[in-house]
């Protein structure tokens, strides 16, 4: 059985969220604010279409403008706001973007991570818990699946390597300095608020709503584990709330919906849910630097944290479709 949320845990706590304008970050901030936390959001670029802004929650948080690559900005956010908890989600998250020009991805994902962790170490008298967003991409290519947390991290291409490095750096700060940190490795996160249209779920949904054929960058046979954004938020909160428990501090945890499917099967499911069987996908097979088959075991999260996904893949997709339908109607797209 999943543990009940710890009543009042977030009330009055000051929480820094990096990557607050991203899809997971925005929903996480909304949940923290609803729980009574005082949230500080590190924002590089203000995006009015981000769920953080569209929902109006931005008016209820403190904003520190700046980039993870600037240590002084990160340190100031922690010190001046007397931050108790850090959720480090800030990153460049698009594989094709990293492939075309890796330098900004390596700077944001690697330098940004050690800046956050070093600032937390420096202000250890303030910071009581740190949760770092890694990814299933950190594992790289493995013949034996599903991924378990004790597997070697061996990213090979720029985005994977950036997540492998960030993950290992977080582990180093725990083992060397006993920084109270834990690591979250999610499967592909989907849900309302993701406006990176090159990603599969938002891209396919938008195409169907426009009456167009969706473009598939890969050959359609790549297998992925998907995590609904609301389940991802529950995962981050659960890890942070349990960081003082045995077997959590210094550990990594996998989270997913545990329903791996091929790209084409996910597209077919969206066709069925949206009544768009007549719109046949345009399969380009041009994807580069992508892992072909990924699948996560969440056994550790179930056993140690009592976490399990609350949404099926179909249920999460139904909510996601409804979000994009309303969003695109509002924007006339």
Q: What share of the chain is helix, strand, coil (3-state, %, to 5)?
A: 45, 15, 40
Between the alpha carbon of residue 204 and those of residues 169, 284, 311, the distances in Å are 35, 14, 20
* Cα radius of gyration (the chain): 19
* d(C-alpha 105, C-alpha 91), whole Å: 7
Bridge partners (DSSP) listed for residue 131: 87, 182
Q: Is 159 a catalytic residue?
A: yes
For residues 44 and 70, the answer to whether their CB atoms sit within 8 Å is no
- Give me the DSSP letters along 288-326: -S--SB--B--HHIIIII----SS-HHHHHHHHHHHHHH
Q: Per the residue annotation, which of 114, 139, 147, 159 is the catalytic one?
A: 159
Query: What residues are labeled active site?
Result: 159
């Amino acid at each position: 059985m999943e543990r009940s949320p710890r009543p009042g845990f977030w009330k009055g706590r000051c929480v820094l969220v990096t990557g607050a304008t991203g899809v997971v970050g925005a929903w996480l901030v909304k949940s923290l604010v609803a729980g009574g936390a005082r949230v500080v959001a590190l924002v590089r670029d203000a995006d009015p279409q981000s769920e953080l802004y569209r929902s109006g929650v931005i008016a209820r948080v403190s904003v520190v403008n700046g980039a993870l690559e600037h240590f002084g900005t990160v340190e100031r956010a922690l010190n001046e706001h007397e931050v108790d908890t850090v959720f480090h989600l800030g990153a460049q998250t698009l594989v094709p973007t990293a492939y075309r020009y890796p330098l900004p991805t390596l700077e944001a994902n690697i330098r940004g991570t050690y800046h956050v962790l070093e600032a937390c170490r420096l202000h250890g008298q303030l910071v009581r818990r740190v949760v770092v967003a890694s990814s299933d991409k950190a594992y790289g290519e493995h013949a034996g699946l599903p991924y378990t947390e004790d597997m070697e991290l061996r990213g090979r291409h720029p985005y994977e390597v950036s997540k492998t490095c960030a993950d290992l750096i977080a582990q180093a700060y725990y083992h060397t300095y006993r920084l109270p940190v834990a690591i979250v490795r999610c499967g592909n996160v989907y849900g309302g608020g993701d406006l990176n249209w090159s990603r599969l779920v938002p891209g396919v949904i938008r195409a169907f709503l426009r009456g167009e054929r969706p473009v598939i960058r890969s050959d359609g046979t790549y297998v992925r584990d998907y995590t609904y954004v609301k389940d991802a938020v529950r995962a981050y909160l659960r890890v942070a709330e349990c960081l003082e428990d045995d077997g959590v501090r210094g550990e990594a945890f996998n989270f997913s919906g545990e329903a791996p499917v091929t790209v084409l099967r996910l597209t077919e499911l969206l066709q069925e849910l949206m009544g768009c069987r007549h719109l046949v996908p345009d399969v380009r097979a041009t994807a580069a630097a992508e892992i072909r088959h990924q699948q996560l075991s969440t056994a550790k999260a179930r056993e140690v944290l009592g976490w399990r996904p609350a949404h099926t893949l179909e249920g999460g997709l139904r909510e996601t479709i409804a979000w994009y339908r309303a969003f695109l109607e509002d924007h006339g797209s």
